[in-house]
Amino acid sequence: MSCPALYTVLLLGASGETGKQLLKQLAASKNVGKVVSLGRREVPLEGDGIHKVEQRIIDFDNMDNFQNDFKDVHKAFCTLGTTRAKAGKEGFIKVDHDYVLNAAKLLKQEGCEEFHLLTSTGSNPDSWFLYPSTKGKVEEAVKNLNFTSTYIYRPGLLICERGETRIGESILQWCFKQVDSSRNAWSIPVSKVARSMVVNSEKAQPGVHVLAHADVVETSNQ
């Protein structure tokens, strides 16, 4: 599938904090003709270009029934994710691994050539710990699908204002804001992560590209 001047992008995870920012920035991009947002529910839209956004409700547990929603996509972005505290171990693996991989498989099957995946610093399929192990395993599985271009983003602590309260994370965010607000050596606002994903999609090169935290910060400033 060749990419036209104005291309269609698909976003999974628009209800999350990074996803909200990414949806806004994709809609505002002059290179994007249409944004298809797939999720369990619709999300409020604001900003420039919202007329280009088409929200579709799908059941992630029965994704194969929604195969048509993955057609005619030039570039795809995935920011899906939950926490073990919220979903339990099995729920976390289902969302952060199974949903992500199943969506990527459908996209590849339908001819999408470019896939952008948000994971995290420390992702490692061989880790003894659930979070980095799950993130690392889904990274490897997505790489093996052989999209023309695969971009994996591994930012550090994400700085955002959440609709839900996570006490431990809130404390960490406050601490990092005090010592890391200007350099972003260990933390980064979700708006900058979204910016990095948009920038890389607009200059995408063939192959697998894994962006460490410093790389995400660098491209977010372009």
Contact (Cβ atoms closer than 8 angstroms) between residue 59 and residue 66: yes
Contact (Cβ atoms closer than 8 angstroms) between residue 43 and residue 53: no
Instruction: Catalytic residue, from 24, 135, 137, 192: name it.
Output: 135
131 labelled catalytic: yes
Instruction: Give 158-220 as a DSSP string.
Output: EE---SS--HHHHHHHHHHHHHHTTT-SSEEEHHHHHHHHHHHHHT--SEEEEE-HHHHHHHH
151 labelled catalytic: no
Instruction: Catalytic residue, from 71, 105, 131, 143: name it.
Output: 131
Instruction: Write the single-letter amino acid at 98.
Output: D
Q: What residues pair up with 78 in beta bridges, in sequence order? A: 12, 117
Which one-letter DSSP state was computed for residue 122?
Answer: T
Contact (Cβ atoms closer than 8 angstroms) between residue 136 and residue 124: yes
What positions carry a catalytic annotation? 131, 135
